[in-house]
Amino acid sequence: MSQETMSSARERARSFDHLDPAVADTVHEALGEFRRGCPVAHSEAHGGMFVVTRYDDLRHVAENGQIFSSAAEVGAVVVAPETGGVIAPLFEQDLAEHAAWRKHLQSFFTPRAAARHTGYVRRVAAEVVAELRPRGRADLVPDLCARIPPLVIASLMGIPEPERPVLASLVRRLAGAESEEEAAPVGQEYTGFLLDQIRSRRGADGDDVLTSVVNSEIGGKPAGDYELLKFAFLLVAAGNLTTTDQLASILLELARDGELRARVVADRGLIPQLVEESVRHESAVAATGRTVVAETELAGVPLQPGDRMLLTWGSGNRDERHFPDGDEFRLGRPRRPHLGWGAGAHRCLGLHVARVELRVILEELLAAIPDFTLPDGFVPRRTYGVIRGVRALPVTWPV
Ligand code: HEM
């Protein structure tokens, strides 16, 4: 690597802002350049942060919570409401406090617990697909991808089935708001809905995630309403936007690669591999943050308490030292632990639920509509930020 290439990577990194919509189309090219030229690159965005791009460095940060804290992240909690400095249980906790919450929640997220959602996901997915099929056209992002994940999260939180569409509609309206003025009243309604859910569970029976955390002393103390509110917001965000956008990335791949689609339609047993390769190739959780709490160094870069780190998971998944031809989407790659679900203590708690959802929705879609295509010359508009997705998938199919 020449000095010139390294300094050009450093220069590009200086203005890198993961929340700027303009970075989305060329983000892998930019992260690849940082990985090779300045793997822990300094950006001036958001008051300054270090962009971590290599697989081994990402793992190191994620596995050392005593140095790299989750308590104050770089842009990872933008979806949570302002609750006066309250720390969100689980998501923003470290070490022993975090471990206590994780242990408490574990039983709701095992492979066996996740499999219990199969019937509900299949029923809802079959209904949505049956409604779409006679139309012969759809924008698969709002019409399919965004419709099922909020219902599943609502079910996990023990929201009765008739009220689940209320949560789905609130998150859709919030995500679709185009200005802060438009988002504010929806945010208030959403906050009110979740607070009602939390308060109505006090003293109630129920074997769902929310009732359980409302009525337990975790780590030796009960959580207050606002801690629980922040937890609920982040749980919905973690389970909803992620799965919606991962599905969109998978469908984009299937829509533009007819050969891949034909293989998967002919052998639905390939769907779990398809899902896993998509989580490696375009992890829906693109970039989350940590804050340095003890002096250290990473890839030769000295770090001080207060320095903020941006973990670009998708970059680690294309790190040429671990994934040859990482930019290529390829079924049948040798199985290797990738970073699409994160790593360390905060590794995705809901990954088995996500796998069930994505598999079942794809099974239902491909059985009913195996031959959807995008318009000729379609150029996808991608998103990047905390979440990586696709804005629209306007497909048609023969009816
Ligand atoms: C394809 C979909 C998904 C992807 C790619 C994904 C990815 C991730 C990643 C990368 C992290 C780690 C973030 C960090 O360490 O900064 C994470 C954490 C988390 N995810 Fe997921 N996720 C997905 C779906 C879900 C679902 C469906 C749920 C819930 C049902 C969920 C619940 C969580 C929770 C609770 C955490 C925080 C864990 C902790 O802090 O200990 N995720 N996810």
| Per-residue pLDDT tens digits of the chain, which is 399 residues long | 688 888 899 999 999 999 999 999 999 999 999 999 999 999 999 999 999 999 999 999 999 999 999 986 544 433 344 556 788 999 999 999 999 999 999 999 999 999 999 999 999 999 999 999 999 999 999 999 999 999 999 999 999 999 999 999 999 999 889 898 999 999 999 999 999 999 999 999 999 999 999 999 999 999 999 999 999 999 999 999 999 999 999 999 999 999 999 999 999 999 999 999 999 999 999 999 999 999 999 999 999 999 999 999 999 999 999 999 999 999 999 989 999 999 999 999 999 999 999 999 999 999 999 999 999 999 999 999 999 999 999 999 999
- Nearest Cα residue to atom 11 of ligand 1: 348
Domains of the chain: 3-396 (1.10.630.10)
Q: Distances from the Cα of 282 to the Cαs of 66, 251, 338, in angstroms?
A: 29, 12, 11
Mutation to probe ligand 1, out of 242, 249, 277 (largest number of atoms < 8 A from CB):
242
C-beta 359 within 6 A of ligand 1: no
> Could you give phi then psi for residue 43, rounded to 5 degrees?
-115, 150
Q: How far apart are CA 78 and CA 236, in angstroms?
A: 13
Ligand 1 atom nearest to 339, measured from its CA: 10
Ligand 1 atom nearest to 153, measured from its CA: 30
C-beta 93 within 6 A of ligand 1: no
Q: Which residues on adjacent β-strands are paired with residue 106? A: none
- Nearest Cα residue to atom 1 of ligand 1: 243
Q: How far apart are CA 123 and CA 128, in angstroms?
A: 9
Amino acid at 274: L
The pLDDT of residue 81 is: 47
Q: Within 10 A of 163 (CB to CB), how many other CB atoms are there?
A: 12
C-beta 213 within 6 A of ligand 1: no
58: its two tokens: 């990402």
Decide: helix, strand or coil at residue 1. Answer: coil
Ligand 1 atom nearest to 91, measured from its CA: 40
**Do the Cβ atoms of 353 and 152 come closer than 8 Å?**
yes
Per DSSP, which regions of the chain are E strands? 40-43, 49-52, 68-69, 137-139, 217-218, 221-222, 287-292, 296-298, 301-303, 308-312, 382-383, 389-390, 394-396
